[in-house]
Amino acid sequence: MSEPTSARADIIPYTGEFSSVVRSWIDSEETLYYLCRGKEFPPAEDLVDSWQRPDITSYLLFSERKPVGYGELWPRPAERAVEIAHLLVDPFRRSEGFGTKILQLLYQQAAVRRDVGRVVVNLYNDSEVALGCYLKAGFELVGTATHTVGLRMARIVK
């Protein structure tokens, strides 16, 4: 497995007070599209709030008492898996290891669940940076995404 990132941060449960902060990180049409297949930029004011559902657990990544990342855990019981989704890092903090850090911490949250055998993530673009981030966080390429064009990556729970 790859070396863990040296980024110093931790995740906390998401609260709606950070909705506008997370939304502000969607800095381009491309980011919006790859994040949630959105097509109308800038995104709607309530976009992040619309992602919150009872079966989804959302988290913020904090570093130096400021939010720097966001991600969600989606249950996939038919696969005995949890999917990491809506992964987003503050554009001013990208390439500092926070993407890898949030992936590692979300994996740890998912891996403690008794009914989870693996954690999956989908990559919907050809970003070598994103692919490198997923690989560094311990995920391996396992195939293609099932509902749209992209790669499916997984990490087995031990």
- pLDDT, tens only, 51-72: 999 999 999 999 999 999 999 9
> In residues, how long is the chain?
158
Share of the chain above pLDDT 90, in %: 74
Band (5; pLDDT cuts 50, 70, 90): low
Is a pLDDT exceeding 90 seen at residue 126? no
Q: What is the DSSP letter of 122?
A: E
CATH topology of domain 10-156: Aminopeptidase (3.40.630)
What's residue 149's pLDDT?
66
Span 94-123, mean pLDDT?
94
What's the 3-state SS for 12-43? EECCHHHHHHHHHCCCCHHHHHHHHCCCCCCC
85 touches 120 (CB < 8 A): no
The answer to whether residue 35 scores a pLDDT higher than 50 is: yes
H/E element, 158: none
Does the predicted model carry a pTM greater than 0.85?
A: yes
Question: For position 151, what pLDDT does the model report?
Answer: 85
Delimit the domains of the chain by residue range.
Answer: 10-156
Lowest-pLDDT choice from 24-28, 49-53, 123-127: 123-127
**What is the per-residue pLDDT across 135-150, written as a single tens digit (0 to 9) for each?**
999 999 888 776 666 7
Rounded CA gap, 72 and 106, in Å? 8
| Burial group, residue 102, by CB count within 10 angstroms (0-12, 13-18, 19+) | buried
CA pair distance 123, 126, nearest whole angstrom: 8
CA distance 151 to 121: 8
Q: Is 90 exceeded by the pLDDT of residue 109? A: yes
